[in-house]
Amino acid sequence: MSAAPDDPADGPGDEPADGPGDEPADGPELWLVRHGETEWSRDGRHTSRTDLDLTEKGVQVACTLKERLADETFGLVLCSPMRRARRTAELAGFTDLEVDADLVEWGYGEYEGITTAEIRETAPGWTIWTHPTPGGETAQQVSERLDRVVERVRAVSGRVLAFGHGHALRALAARWIEQPVAEGRFFKLDTATVSTLGYERDFPVVLRWNS
């Protein structure tokens, strides 16, 4: 979802914004790819440490990432250690990458493998963003490890590509723009999508999301 180009008739006081496909002018860029569909993501079942592979449809859609990213260059490629993320990276054409355990999904604890509707039978109104997760990670724990990812990316000159998971990448976007991880609830993220975080002048921003 790139911004439309500025009207060429704009006067000298109007400064065009950098598009997500441009070389970063104001700071590093972090490109995020959520893994392709798995059986559990398809069915709405929370998946963190369960190491599932992609479905046939997940493979097909992940393969389209190769063409979408073919013209882009990255100084560093990071990937969650989970099979679904590594397989997505491979299908997208990225085998020379670094596995980063900080990119794993939010730990769901006792809610692993079940849906939000099932959780709400005993915890009305539950969401990962607003309620505790018995036996899983706290928002503070997630924030601390994703802050390490942000720090690592900001030490790199140019673009970084990261393959990961839905809730963790949404939380990562929140931390990139210096917000609590709970603000990730506003960033819907589908499987096998590309998003871009970057800078406008001195401010960290979301350049493109869920495209």
Asked whether residue 21 is domain-assigned, the answer is no
pLDDT of residue 23: 45
pLDDT of residue 158: 87
Query: What is the average pLDDT across 118-126?
Result: 97
- Closest of 28, 92, 31 to residue 59, by C-alpha: 92
Asked whether residue 19 is domain-assigned, the answer is no
Q: For 168-182, how does the pLDDT look when each residue is reduced to its tens digit (9 = 90+)?
A: 999 999 999 999 999
Asked whether residue 50 is domain-assigned, the answer is yes
Burial (CB < 10 A; 0-12, 13-18, 19+), residue 144, is middle
Name the active-site residue from 29, 37, 105, 112: 105
| Helix boundaries (H) for the chain | 39-43, 56-69, 83-91, 116-119, 139-154, 166-176
pLDDT of residue 107: 98
Q: Is 105 annotated as catalytic?
A: yes
Asked whether residue 20 is domain-assigned, the answer is no
Name the active-site residue from 29, 35, 37, 165: 35
* pTM score: 0.87
Asked whether residue 159 is domain-assigned, the answer is yes
* Residue 166, pLDDT above cutoff 50: yes
pLDDT of residue 26: 73
pLDDT of residue 157: 84
CATH number assigned to the domain comprising residue 117:
3.40.50.1240
Q: For 59-91, how does the pLDDT look when each residue is reduced to its tens digit (9 = 90+)?
A: 999 999 999 999 999 999 999 999 999 999 999
Q: What torsion, rounded to 10 degrees, do the Cα atoms 29, 30, 31, 32 define?
A: -160
Asked whether residue 64 is domain-assigned, the answer is yes
Domains held by the chain: number: 1
What is the pLDDT of the chain when averaged over all its residues?
A: 90
Distances in Å between the Cα of 201 and the Cα atoms of 54, 158, 193 are 39, 15, 26
Percent of the chain exceeding pLDDT 70 equals 88
Asked whether residue 65 is domain-assigned, the answer is yes
Range of the domain at 88: 29-208
* Residue 24, pLDDT above cutoff 90: no
Query: What is the average pLDDT across 138-162?
Result: 96
Q: Is 35 annotated as catalytic?
A: yes
